[in-house]
Amino acid sequence: MALGQRLEKIVRPSGLTLAGESLTFDLCGGLWLEAHRTLVVSDLHLEKGSAYAARSGQFLPPYDTRETLACLHEAVARFDPARVVALGDSFHDARGPDRMEPGDRAMIAALQEGRDWVWIAGNHDAAVNEGVGGRYAETLTLGGLTLRHEPTPGVADGEIAGHLHPCGKVAMRGRAVRRRCFVTDGHRLVMPAFGAYAGGLNVRDRAFEPLFPNGFTAHLLGDGRVFAIGRTMLARD
Amino acid sequence: MSGDPLLPPIFSDWFDRRGWRPRAHQLDLLRIAGSGRSALLVAPTGAGKTLAGFLPSLVALAGRPKGAKAGGLHTLYVSPLKALAVDIARNLDAPIAEIGLPVRVETRTGDTPAHKRTRQIDRPPDILLTTPEQLSLLIAHREAAALFAELRCVVLDELHALVTSKRGDLLSLALARLHRLSPGLTAIGLSATVREPDELRKYLVPQKAPDAPSLADLVVVQGGAKPDLRMLEIDRRLPLAGHTAYQSMPAIYDLIRAHRTVLVFVNTRLQAEYTFQELWRLNDDVLPIALHHGSLDAQQRRRVEAAMAAGQLRAIVCTATLDLGIDWGDVDLVVNIGAPKGASRIMQRIGRANHRMDEPSKAYLVPANRFEILECRAALDAVEEAAQDTPDARIGAPDVLAQHVLGMACADAFDPVALYDEVTAAAPYVGLTWEEFEQVVDYVATGGYALRAYERFAKILRGPDGLWRVRDARTAQQYRMNVGTIIEATTVKVRLARSLRGKPGTVLPKTGRVLGEIEEDFAETLTVGDTFLFAGEVLRFEGLAEDEALVTKAGPGTDPAIPSYAGAKFPLSTFLAARVRALIADPFEWDRLPKQVSDYLLQQRRRSLLPGPRDLLVETFPRGGRHYLTAFPFEGRLAHQTLGMLLTRRLERARLRPLGFAANDYGIAIWTNRDLSERIGFEPRFLEDLFAEDMLGDDLEAWLDESAMMKRTFRQCAVIAGLIERRFPGQKKTGRQVTISTDLVYDVLRKHQPDHLLLRAARQDAATGLLDVRRLGMMLRRIQGRIIHKALDRVSPLSVSVMLEIGRERVYGEGADEILAEAEAQLLEEALA
């Protein structure tokens, strides 16, 4: 494991600072900003299961909301953040809050208790409904960091965004491992989707090219820790 | 004279004109069906099974009063293969035309155009030939009750091949519906020789209770000529492991030269590719030798089949894709490479040669390693005794029932009690409880979740009259799109691309032809530059473009670097396994074995020991700084892989630091950091505990739930039951972002409702399917008190065979994190470079 420890020393500094702010990539897919005591999670896609049932008659297990909230609860309990930022697409569609079970609604309220809760507007939930607590914002600035849902092409020092659901794939010796990941080039960070049913887009997809013209490192969520993988080791789908 | 009181004169005359006599079984069937009873006809190939199956219908149709207006559909024929249905239609033409019967015969398959389908409902033919899936669609049709009201007879062909799968479950439910729509219906099953015909007899007729089976009548055609079956013996020593049979290729080539047309069967697609290449390497005479397996482009396969039918080929190297199919009269030899794995399979394959009952089929078994010699010997003995290893009766799958229930709601409003009675009349579902049935109905309606979230979206609704109805036309359409139980693995096309000379490493997409398809799972593990064997050539992977794998031909002399891709692999049947164990245990039998095998067994007896037929031999020994444990249950690779996984967990808990394991059809090898012999020495019950039956409890559950195979099984159940939509070949792939991954669904469902219907369905499949848990359980019971341990100071001859598997297969238990850590290390190298 000596190699692993050496690695983390070498890899961590480049991956874990952005515009001078230090970042912690949590294994649950959340981002911890120690200096701001802020936990950021992106693309919760709450009520995605019920959205499918309503739209196409596919009855996916209706437990995705409570599963997502349980993971969030676990992270909140661990970090005890002063602020939680949901980085957009918090609900799968605008009607999501209406379909939510009372228990899940209560769970959100309990999580919001005693802390600042910010819903950033996403493209799925641009018109956010009332009744889910917290405050709403298009973007949020924390020190040198700008938090918004959709990443903006061009120079964007300190931008933290979601929207793309990045996934990294490593193929080796007849096995492929595909995991959600953080993607960063030291200037910009794209966060993994947090939602239980949120799919993923391979980081080698064209959508990432204009955002990271000079390459990037992907931080893949493993079973036991987060792994920093260079672009050359990442396979396409 | 073919005078038989049952046979109308126009039929006797026809037999006479052809110079034939009606066979006894054909008349038996006529008699049974004539008295309104159902029957199973068990006969070897070439016995005139098909004519026998149709004769009662043809006689009845001939007896219709002249000028009577054509009735509804009289006879339905169901075949597992579309091509077979089409072929039978052609074969029926001759007797119908020659006897001059006013009988209209049509086929209905996926290829039948829409206008013809509509007409077949409005004005049905007398005899309709179709497949199980098309039958399911027909009984879900709104006009089904009218269409089948006059049905008198249903003929199920190749029944032995159908009943062992979910397809058989679906067909049994359709049959139950036909029995209800047309009481007094006669069902005729046609089957190759099977060991337990009673299972098939039950399948044909409505059942009343699990413990009081109703049986169809049985007609058995004895023997036919005994097959001329031999083991191919060559004077070279075979290796202890491996499946290529490369030593035997020249002998096989000589056999092809000496015969008209040869079918060369292999067990996997990889073997097919390899054998095809090797035979062509030897093919100085440039004999037309072709390749046929499930991954090849469909058009290519059709071309090979057409060339075969036209008598243009001297040999086809093929996999199970040609186990069933239309008769090729010209095949005069069948060669089976590798161990036959099951006695029934080998009989089926031998039957592909010489489809005439009075001439013996000729076949060679070609063992690829010394263990396979034992297996071939056991199979030869089994064929000699005409013994068969038919799998046990299936317990009907709940996911298939869910599909059927939705279909029945599409046909008409249903009363749940009446439908329950109907469904439990189908043999696979005879043990279904009312509660289980209610759960299925609840699943179909709203997903069957403890959290009642989807009530307002229900697919079927119960009216005030107590009847269930389908919600709307869209739901019925979704049912029709999803019908069937065959889930094709998602595949990508393999297309030849042209390399750009000017720019090395770049290729022009969409330039070359499509060679076939490979499983998406396999394609995903390829990286640019990997070489692999496909369609008879060594190909270089150039990248994925949309849904195609682009490849170029690798330079001559390139060895494929990627060893294999998924293909059907059959485990050794329980029946043959028992015979192999008996063969090993009895030295008096050894003189029937080639000397290289008896020498090997003698060596084993001298250096360690040979287990009795019911014993489990466990050897422990050190090697290369590690400690090994080998065991020989002879229960097939799948059961052994599961066993290896479970033993590794237990050794881990016993702090013996297991590092990995390997398995083959005969045994397993596990290696550890700690001394196993020593531990067993001071803890006498250690092995008994290690192999105790309770390993099938929590450990199994825990491992199963995490395993990739279980996820794959779940996905199949979810598609069959309509939880997620089927992906169709050629359908444009939408981005991963918007599709729902079944793995995610599985994880969430397992956590929040572990007893959900679909999880139960997946576990039921795992028990018999990919993981062969049931068999493992039988083995653990068998060996209780019969474990024989031998501590050795070095590897024994028997253990060498399984040790050779190490390194050939992926190391099990290698977690995702190990792969990721290795990829991460590359980043470090880049950083330091």
Q: pLDDT for A126-171, tens place per residue?
A: 655 567 889 999 999 999 999 999 999 887 889 999 999 999 988 7
Amino acid found at B358: D
Residue B370 lies in a domain: yes
CATH classification at residue B125: 3.40.50.300
CATH classification at residue B700: 3.30.1360
Inter-helix orientation angle B9-18/B82-99, to 10° = 100
Interchain pair B454, A167: CB under 8 A = no
Tokens found for residue B671: 């290696």
What is the rounded distance in angstroms from the CA atom of residue A227 to the CA atom of residue A86?
24
How much is the pLDDT for B353?
72
Q: Are residues B192 and B240 in the same domain?
A: no
Total domain count, chain B: 4
Residue B724 lies in a domain: no
What is the rounded distance in angstroms from the CA atom of residue B658 to the CA atom of residue B313?
52
Place of tokens 């579902």: B429
Q: Which of B706, B619, B621 is nearest to B668 (CA)?
A: B619
Note the pLDDT tens digit of each residue in B392-418: 678 999 999 999 999 999 999 999 999
Note the pLDDT tens digit of each residue in A167-178: 998 876 556 788
Amino acid found at B252: I
Q: Are residues B697 and B621 in the same domain?
A: yes
Residue B822, Cβ density class (10 Å: 0-12 exposed, 13-18 middle, ≥19 buried): middle
Neighbours of B290 (CB within 10 A): 20
Q: Which of A78, A195, A88, A72 is nearest to A140 (CA)?
A: A88
Q: Are residues B165 and B233 in the same domain?
A: no
Residue B694, Cβ density class (10 Å: 0-12 exposed, 13-18 middle, ≥19 buried): exposed
Q: Are residues B537 and B678 in the same domain?
A: no
Strand B186-191 to strand B153-156: parallel, antiparallel, or no bridges (unpaired)? parallel
Neighbours of A223 (CB within 10 A): 12
**What is the fold, at CATH topology level, of the domain defined by A2-233?**
Purple Acid Phosphatase; chain A, domain 2 (3.60.21)
How much is the pLDDT for B294?
75
Which residues in chain A are contacts of B561 at CB distance < 8 A? Answer: none
Contacts of B258 (CB under 8 A, 6+ apart): none
Residue B156 lies in a domain: yes
How much is the pLDDT for B738?
42
Per-residue pLDDT, averaged over A83-96, amounts to 93
Q: Is B724 in CB contact (< 8 Å) with chain A? A: yes
How much is the pLDDT for B345?
74
Per-residue pLDDT, averaged over A83-91, amounts to 95
How much is the pLDDT for B188?
97
Which residues in chain B are contacts of A63 at CB distance < 8 A? Answer: 449, 451, 748-749, 751-753
How much is the pLDDT for B397?
95
How much is the pLDDT for B809?
46
Q: Is B453 in CB contact (< 8 Å) with chain A? A: yes
Q: Which domain holds residue B681?
A: 608-707+771-817
How much is the pLDDT for B660?
76
Residue B159 lies in a domain: yes
How much is the pLDDT for A155?
75
Q: Outline where DSSP puts E strands in B239-332.
A: 262-265, 289-292, 315-318
Count of CA atoms in the C-beta half-sphere (13 A) of B671: 20
Residue B792 lies in a domain: yes
Per-residue pLDDT, averaged over A70-84, amounts to 96
Interchain pair B474, A57: CB under 8 A = yes
Question: Which chain A residue has the Cα nearest residue B821?
Answer: A227
Q: Outline where DSSP puts E strands in A127-172.
A: 135-137, 140-142, 145-147, 159-161, 166-172
How much is the pLDDT for B327?
65
A10, A11, A52, A60: best to mutate for the B interface, most B CBs within 10 A: A60
Interchain pair B819, A202: CB under 8 A = no
Residues of chain B falling short of pLDDT 70: 1-3, 45-47, 66-70, 223-225, 324-329, 354-358, 386-392, 488-491, 499-511, 519-527, 535-536, 545-547, 556-571, 706, 708, 727-740, 769-771, 806-815, 830-833
How much is the pLDDT for B711?
80
Contacts of B655 (CB under 8 A, 6+ apart): B674
How much is the pLDDT for B86?
80
Residue B561 lies in a domain: no
Show which of B203, B220, B237 is a domain's final residue: B220
Show which of B194, B220, B246 is a domain's final residue: B220
Give ipTM to 2 decimals.
0.88
Q: Is A167 in CB contact (< 8 Å) with chain B? A: yes
Q: Which of B227, B249, B245 is nearest to B333 (CA)?
A: B227
Confidence of residue A38 (pLDDT cuts 50, 70, 90): very high
Question: Which chain B residue has the Cα nearest residue A51?
Answer: B454
How much is the pLDDT for B242?
72
User: What kind and span of H or E run contains B535?
Assistant: none
Contacts of B134 (CB under 8 A, 6+ apart): B108, B109, B110
